[in-house]
Structure 1
Amino acid sequence: MSYRGRSSLSVIFERFIDSLKPKHIKTNTKHMGTDYLGNNYYECLPKKLYDSRQQPRRWFKPPNEDLWDRQLPPEWNAWLRMMRKIPPTIEEIEYNRMIENKKQQFSQSIADPNTQTNKQKVHPVSGFPIYDEYKH
């Protein structure tokens, strides 16, 4: 079907010509940012109104081609999966990393048995805790 009076053949011919061009010549590809792991994030907006893609194409390039399968930061992952319209800011990423570090420090302090001041006595047979205030 044609869109706004354009013939299908002209749309097909224009898309064929675009497919022959190298990707770096296309002007609608923008570099959106870089994360702390060195990954570069790109976005390619739909070219024209008759383009069948409604959403932009988004992808990332790792610093080394062998590192494509490592975990991405959650803010950039949400942007890649179209859950966010705008890419994350540096301040937002730093704030989320600070909260993550605090959570890790807190979980390590809870898990470390040396930091506990009240060590509970445990019954040797049943494994239940023994409380001095409930002894007869």
Structure 2
Amino acid sequence: MANGEYRHVWRIVLRNFFNSLKPRQIKGNNMGKDYIGNIYYEIPADPQRGKRKATRWYDPPKGLDFQEPLPSEWESWLRMRRTEPPTAEEIAKNVAIAEQKKINAAKIEEKRLAEGGALPTPVERGAQSFPTYPEYHTGDPSINPKNKYR
């Protein structure tokens, strides 16, 4: 380094510090929208400027800051598990599968109730620190979980 560069080190440090306090103008590329209304954005990686990874985020619709979980295909894209955002066909296919699962679950529940099935029994909690389930109870009073290893 030349002699003159050493004299301005503190000036460079202070300038970088004050520049870090300024708000950044974030303008990302619109990558898509899901069925909830979230809009997804990305700022691609730029290794020449020292940015090795892409930045991804989403904006929820107005008034829906706390909502149901993100669709799995978009969450995997946000967490960098996939490189390309999901296509409209993939999203439509996954929504159709989820709707079919809801219909099938309702049919199974209706069939179970028609056959005389009762509602699920609540789990009994005793003095132990773990729940006891009647279907796993052996009925043998000599078996004590506390004395199991004697």
User: What TM-score comes out, normalization by structure 1 length?
Assistant: 0.61
Find the partner of 1:61 among 54, 59, 66. Answer: 59
- Does the 8 A contact of 1:109 with 1:115 survive in 2? no
Using the aligned pairs only, state the percent identity. 33
Find the partner of 2:106 among 105, 108, 111. Answer: 108
Structure with greater strand share of residues: 1
SS for the counterpart of 1:23 is: coil
Could you give the per-residue CA deviations for residues 66-117 of structure 1, whole angstroms, max 9, x where no partner exists?
Answer: 423322111111111111110001100111111111111111101114775x
Question: Which position in structure 2 is the counterpart of 1:44?
Answer: 43
Task: Give the 3 Å change call, closer, same or farther, for CA 107–21 of structure 1 in structure 2.
Answer: closer
SS for the counterpart of 1:33 is: strand
Q: CA deviation at 1:47?
A: 3.3
SS for the counterpart of 2:31 is: strand
Q: How many residues align?
A: 102
Question: Which position in structure 1 is the counterpart of 2:32?
Answer: 33
Correspondence 1:1-136 to 2 at 5 A? 16=19, 22-24=25-27, 29-51=28-50, 53-64=51-62, 66-70=63-67, 71-113=69-111, 116=114, 119=115
Provide structure 1 residue ranges, at least 5 long, that are not aligned to the other structure: 1-8, 121-136
**Cα distance in 2, alignment partners of residues 23 and 50 from structure 1:** 16
Task: Give the 3 Å change call, closer, same or farther, for CA 102–21 of structure 1 in structure 2.
Answer: closer
**Cα distance in 2, alignment partners of residues 21 and 57 from structure 1:** 13
Q: CA RMSD in A?
A: 3.0
Amino acid at match of 1:87: P
User: What TM-score comes out, normalization by structure 2 length?
Assistant: 0.56
- Does the 8 A contact of 1:32 with 1:41 survive in 2? yes
Structure 1 stretches (4+) deviating beyond 3 angstroms?
113-116
**Cα distance in 2, alignment partners of residues 91 and 85 from structure 1:** 17
